[in-house]
A and B are shown apart, each in its own frame.
Chain A
Amino acid sequence: MAVHPTIADVEPNAGHSLRLAEANNPSSKVLRLPESEPLRLACDQFLAPITIAYETYGELNADKSNAILICHALTLDQYVASENPVTKKPGWWSIMVGPGKPIDTDRFFVICPNILGGCMGSTGPASIDPKTGKPYGLSFPVITIGDMVNAQVRLIDHLGIDQLFCVIGGSMGGMQVLEWAASHPERVFSAVPIATAAWHSSQNIAFHEVGRQAVMADPDWCGGDYHSHGKVPRNGLSVARMAAHITYLSEDALHRKFGRSLQERSKVTFSFNADFQVESYLRHQGSTFVDRFDANSYLYITRAMDYFDLAAERGDVLANAFRGTKTRFCVVSFTSDWLYPTRESREIVHALNAVAANVSFVEIDSNKGHDAFLLEEPEFFATVHGFLSSAGTKRGLKV
């Protein structure tokens, strides 16, 4: 009997080479900031030159007042509503963004940049360091959510937009939304932080650490220099993704989808094969992830999330982050999300109330866990639509 104790026995497929190409020559639009315009990072290093890969949808209006910035989550990218060049799948939020959708591209100009530290064209550890001609790897500086937002500020400057009509995003995208609202309040007319928190919880840091250790324990990681050795830490990154994927679902969602069902067999095999459907599913999630994501990027981005704490830099009082804000907020959480539970959204709402900010807060009843923000949830869509329409009226946008 063949034993498949790991998920990464499959050879890298075409996606792998496509991904490497996209990291340095993205199919999307790009902004290249020259050596003379370095970005000062939270770690006090300067990063230059910088590439920001981004996509846009819809038209910017004459007074540049209809721009919506979408901030993406940990492993997503700029292809929010158009085909992903690596996976060939539709945009990750194409049910939310498009003509006539809640984020209506007939009405709004939508911008979605790949984050700093990402691997789909924006500068990150998989990018070629012009000083060495080799990928940065671990010589890439450790970045923060604030650094990602500062890079986005350069993009928004470049597009000539003074004030974004809305900044919206879920999960780590929501952290960027909060960072935008706290650090650049005058440039954010409205903000929609979804399924997120103002600081990363101990439990979430713990899950990230498991993922990072899995990557680094893979001999093919080669101390972070796997590019030079022509290797990919497939096993490590797959395991990291498998563990993380569980946190994106809910116990209920897993049970409904798989229960204890066996995978194409009638009884257990007394081996470590993927007997259970849920095992097979996770292995698939792990191996497809490796084909579209860079292992070092995963380390850097999870670290940035761990470091995120909006209150810590402001005297440990979250309300200080929002004092005097004129931004209109719509905070959204999901009942079955245990990664960013409603309690953590409520902390944001309490802080906003403490400064009498304009805030709406809805908790959407869903059994889909954290991933609910990426899925078909009619009540959630109606909320986003309603909030944006009303904010649009207040901003004087034409209906």
Chain B
Amino acid sequence: MLKPNAPLAGPHRADHLFIAEMVEPGSRVLDVGCGDGALLQLLAESRNTDGRGVELSRERVNACVMRGLSVIQGDADRDLADYPDQAFDYAILSLTIQATRYPKTVLENLLRIGRRAIVSFPNFGHWRVRFDLMFTGRMPRTESLPDSWYESPNGHLCTIKDFVDLAAVVDAEVEEAVAFNTSGQKLPIRHSLSLQNLLGEKAVFQLRKRPPR
């Protein structure tokens, strides 16, 4: 039998650490696509959050609940509509948006359910991706995008620039944005958006719905 509250194996994921830095202590968070619950546990331990999770895979949901996390089996594309407005301080989507069917609707729901939304995603504008496509002529396969195109769950990959555009489309203000390289190091803030888009392997954005004008 799995022990509840067992410590997580391995080091924390870089995007999780950046997300944890953004989250105010003691807040209520909803982690959509929470996987094995690593982020929820990190947030509970380091930020004393009241966390909930939604996860598509039944096995992962059960593993989370066995560890004492409040997680339900559900689908980001279908089930977010159930949640009331502003029920959480943060609605988080870590490395999941690219695998949803309707990223724009999902993001709109996050901005509705949470006072703030935090989204991390693999940057398809990273130089390795561009290099692969340019010189091999095939869909890129990198550390963060390991699957072949026909087995990948990632139907909606985007670049950092694309995501900034989507934020504008859904009327969200970017409050904070971090791009980091393959070793999980934050890129200097002085880099231009184009340079972040080239050197950032992944990015984390904190967004807020703009108040109606």
Contacts and interface: CB of A to CB of B under 8 A. Distances in A.
In this complex, the member of A386, A389, A390 whose beta carbon has the largest number of chain B beta carbons within 10 angstroms is A386
B65 A353 contact: no
Contacts of B198: none
Contact of A390 (B58, B61, B69, B72): B69
A354 to B, nearest CB: 5
A386 B84 contact: no
B65 A383 contact: yes
A328 B72 contact: no
A393 B68 contact: yes
A354 B84 contact: yes
Most chain A CB within a 10 A radius of its CB, from B5, B64, B82, B88 = B82
Interface string A364-388: 1100000000000011011101110
A386 B52 contact: no
A354 B70 contact: no
B79 A361 contact: no
A363 B74 CA distance: 11
A387 B5 CA distance: 10
A382 B1 contact: yes
A362 interface: yes
A360 B2 CA distance: 17
A360 B70 contact: yes
Contacts of A364: 62
Contacts of A362: 58, 61-62, 65, 73
Contacts of B65: 330, 360, 362, 383, 386-387
Interface string B56-92: 0010011011111111111000010011100110000
A393 B5 CA distance: 10
B25 interface: no
A354 B82 contact: yes
A359 B72 contact: yes
A362 B54 CA distance: 11
Contact of A353 (B2, B61, B69, B72): B72
A353 B5 CA distance: 24
Most buried by B among A358, A362, A378: A362
A361 B72 contact: yes
A350 interface: yes
Contacts of B2: 382, 386
Contacts of A365: 58
Contacts of A350: 79, 82
B4 interface: yes
Nearest to A354: B82
Contacts of A391: 68
Contacts of A393: 5, 68
A383 B62 contact: yes
Interface of B: 1-2, 4-5, 50, 52, 58, 61-62, 64-74, 79, 82-84, 87-88
